[in-house]
Amino acid sequence: MNLLTLEGIHHKFDYPLFSDVNLELNQKESIAITGVSGSGKSTLLHIASTFLKPHSGKVKILGLDVYEDSSSMLKIRRNDIAIIFQSHYLFNALNAKENLELSSIISKKKIDKRLLESLKIDDLINRNISELSGGQKQRFSIARALIKKPKIIFADEPTGNLDHKTASSVMNYLFEYIEDNNAVLFLVTHDEKIATKCKYNLNF
């Protein structure tokens, strides 16, 4: 089943950024977007993830043309997609558990204990955010993004702040997740090694 399609995407700011980007991701597939800083990777992720209307071209998620149909866009944002950034954006005023509970309340989905175990954060759940290392915070932010069981994970350099070992366990988890949940991964990365683990590569 086709989960994400980009058709003839063109975008420009005050200069052309990219033209005619086409891609299609079916269940369990992944794509790595690579390229130098400023080449437009994050912009393409914003376009594909419903947050930036392209200058021209279509974005279809679960077969729905997201920029043509604003009610399906809202439904898709709420239920079907998750976005993970290089910075964790956890709420410091809440502890780790409360950060996850917030997502659970919004999505009306229970927090799956196995999710916390596989990310190795089940023992850290009662800590304050300030008591977590960078890698632990990132694993909580991934857990928070996945509580709603999204069909598409958009990740913008999710391991950019992590050491190699933590980065590879986080990436393994994301690949396992798409396999087990018939989901797809749209990944922006600087890391060539990680990129080669994705089914498709698109270099800007």
Ligand X SMILES: Nc1ncnc2c1ncn2[C@@H]1O[C@H](COP(=O)(O)OP(=O)(O)O)[C@@H](O)[C@H]1O
Tally of CA atoms within 13 A in the half-sphere of 24 that contains its CB: 5
* Edge-to-edge strand ranges of the sheet holding 16-26: 16-26, 2-12, 56-61, 64-65
Among 31, 41, 66, 82, binds ligand X (CB under 6 A): 41
CB of 39 to ligand X, least distance (A): 4
Cα–Cα distances (Å) from 48 to 12, 73, 121, 156, 192, in that order, read 15, 12, 30, 12, 22
Cβ neighbours of residue 52 closer than 8 Å, sequence gap 6 or more: 11, 43, 46
Work out whether 39 is an interface residue with ligand X (CB under 6 A).
Answer: yes
Contact with ligand X (CB under 6 A): which of 37, 92, 130, 196? 37
- In whole angstroms, how close is the CB of 52 to ligand X at the nearest point? 8
The amino acid at 174 = L
Kindly state whether residue 40 participates in binding ligand X, applying the rule CB under 6 A: yes
Stretch that binds ligand X, among 41-49, 59-67, 79-87, 146-154 (CB under 6 A): 41-49
- Binding of ligand X by 42 (CB under 6 A): yes
Q: Which does 43 bind (CB under 5 to 8 A by kind): ligand X, Mg ion, none?
A: ligand X
Q: Residue 84 or residue 143: which is nearer to ligand X going by CB?
A: 84
